[in-house]
Amino acid sequence: MKVSVIGLGYIGLPTALMMASHGVEVIGVDFNKNLVETLRGGHTTFQEEGLDELFKNALESGIEFSSEYKKADMYIVAVPTPYDKASKKIDATYVVSAIKEVMKICDKGAIVVIESTISPGTIDRFIRPVIEENNFKIGEDIHIAHAPERIIPGNMIYELKHNSRTIGADSKEIAEQIKEVYVSFCQGNIVTTDIRTAEMTKVVENTFRDINIAFANELAKICRQDNMDVHEIIRIANMHPRVNILQPGPGVGGHCISVDPWFLVGDYPGLTNLIHQARKINDSMPAFVLGRIATIMKEHDIKDVSRVGLYGLTYKEDVDDVRESPTLQLLECMQRHLAQGIKVFDPMVTTKLVDNQYDDFDVFKREVDLVVIMVGHSHLKQHINELKDKVILDTRCVCPFEKVYRL
Ligand code: SAJ
């Protein structure tokens, strides 16, 4: 079976490499010519543990990369699915245009699998009409399925192999054919179901996590009011056999947890009070951190915001992804208050994304008095002792010093 993986980003690339490394004939497609050239030149396009080795194996196994769509038996679509901020509904533009391109080249009998996260009902609303417009009969000429990914950035390669996964398809037979491809590398349970259930399950998983983080963040705010240690409270509460509270932080970023719950809010506005509130709580955290910075600056008589440094630009530790990052949200918030000059450093981000972004940790350290830990990268843990003489606001509870400010 020849598989074309469309969209070679954070999900598509590792998936394509994994399949190719396990004997599947794979062609990876992306409309970004530079990205395809980089891959053809033997380089990966983002940092992830184990990715380079997997890439090497896949190249040896004959994976191809192309910016043109090529004929295959199965098309796996892993393109971004942003949400429209105003309507809170999915923006299906990329998925729809990928399907349109597939329709131009595919033969009857092809299977189209959407891996991108989509809001429940997207396949019926947006994908089926495109296939039918091309005079294909769904279920006969073209088969369609949803096999949402579940891998977590930072541990993607391990999770690709070991997580269980869901395949939602029109028929049992097609689900089984798709399963055969995934089973080549996936040691987890593979559950087959219908498309609608697969769509809903994926969004529910990420919404569950968002709500649970919101609970931790709300606790952080409550504890701040009475000067209690939220981390200690969570640590002790979690010793209860049925309590498992997540960690508060400076906000929820990334392209998944901070986006997917909006799909439910957008589609079920009258029924999603809890989900909506959770989103609002998590979105309020960068401003909450800003309030903490202002208080601490006052306490230490730091008058100039340019003596404050944010450590970490990515949305979480040890990844290079800055999408929806709490630090970027905090900077936006500052801009609205016309407070500029705050310094930023992130060892994982090599391109310059914001003003006053430093690429040298030593210089960054020298030029700030208050360090705000926004992300607990491994780099920080290795260099934490170099910050001993600084005032520290640790939003991630990673700094071991006795005197440290927390959320
Ligand atoms: N965060 C907290 N406190 C916590 C855990 C996370 O503040 O206790 C923050 C992180 O710092 C980050 C954000 O939440 O800013 C999201 O990070 P994450 O590690 O929870 O999740 P993602 O976005 O990297 O990956 C999630 C995963 N979903 C679930 O765990 C249910 C992953 O399995 C999915 O494949 C991925 O979304 C996706 O692509 O949908």
Say yes or no: CB of residue 256 within 6 Å of ligand 1: yes
Say yes or no: CB of residue 151 within 6 Å of ligand 1: yes
Tokens of 35: 């990205």
Say yes or no: CB of residue 252 within 6 Å of ligand 1: yes
Whether residue 202 lies in the annotated active site: yes
For residue 338, the model assigns a pLDDT of 73
Supply the ipTM of this predicted assembly. Answer: 0.99
Whether residue 397 lies in the annotated active site: no
Tokens of 192: 């087959």
Instruction: Quote the pTM value.
Output: 0.94
Say yes or no: CB of residue 321 within 6 Å of ligand 1: no
Q: Could you tell me the residue range of the domain that residue 396 belongs to?
A: 234-406
185 CA to middle of ligand 1, Å?
A: 23
Whether 53 is covered by a domain: the verdict is yes
For residue 51, the model assigns a pLDDT of 97
Last residue of a domain, one of 161, 193, 225: 193
Q: How many domains does the chain have?
A: 2
Beta bridge partners of 112: 75, 144
Residues 94 and 243 in one domain: no
For residue 225, the model assigns a pLDDT of 97
Beta bridge partners of 165: 190
Catalytic residue among 88, 202, 343, 365: 202
337 CA to middle of ligand 1, Å?
A: 29
For residue 407, the model assigns a pLDDT of 96
152 CA to middle of ligand 1, Å?
A: 7
Residues 32 and 181 in one domain: yes
Using CA positions, which residue lies closest to atom 1 of ligand 1?
252
Whether 219 is covered by a domain: the verdict is no
CATH of the domain at 288: 3.40.50.720
With residue 345 as reference, give the H or E element that holds it.
Answer: strand 343-345
Say yes or no: CB of residue 374 within 6 Å of ligand 1: no
What is the three-class DSSP state of 20? helix
Residues 183 and 305 in one domain: no
Whether 69 is covered by a domain: the verdict is yes
Residues 140 and 261 in one domain: no
- Quick one: which atom of ligand 1 is closest to the CA of 205? 31
| Residues lower than pLDDT 70 in the chain | none
Residues 22 and 119 in one domain: yes
Using CA positions, which residue lies closest to atom 40 of ligand 1?
256
Residues 186 and 257 in one domain: no
Q: Give CA–CA dist 283/326, Å, rounded.
A: 8
Helices (H), 106-187: 122, 128-133, 156-162, 172-182
Catalytic residue among 106, 186, 256, 397: 256
Kindly report, residue by residue over 20-60, the tens digit of the pLDDT.
Answer: 999 999 999 999 999 999 999 999 999 999 999 999 999 99
For residue 53, the model assigns a pLDDT of 97
Residues 246 and 371 in one domain: yes
Q: Which long-range contacts (CB under 8 A, 24 or more apart) does 334-343 make?
A: 334/290, 334/305, 337/290, 339/305, 340/305, 341/304, 341/305, 341/306, 342/305, 342/306, 342/308, 342/309, 342/310, 343/306, 343/308, 343/309, 343/310, 343/367, 343/368
153 CA to middle of ligand 1, Å?
A: 8
Say yes or no: CB of residue 115 within 6 Å of ligand 1: no
Last residue of a domain, one of 136, 162, 193: 193
300 CA to middle of ligand 1, Å?
A: 34
Whether 276 is covered by a domain: the verdict is yes
- Quick one: which atom of ligand 1 is closest to the CA of 316? 11
Kindly report, residue by residue over 303-324, the tens digit of the pLDDT.
Answer: 999 999 999 999 999 999 999 9
Whether 181 is covered by a domain: the verdict is yes
For residue 84, the model assigns a pLDDT of 86
Whether 223 is covered by a domain: the verdict is no
For residue 86, the model assigns a pLDDT of 86
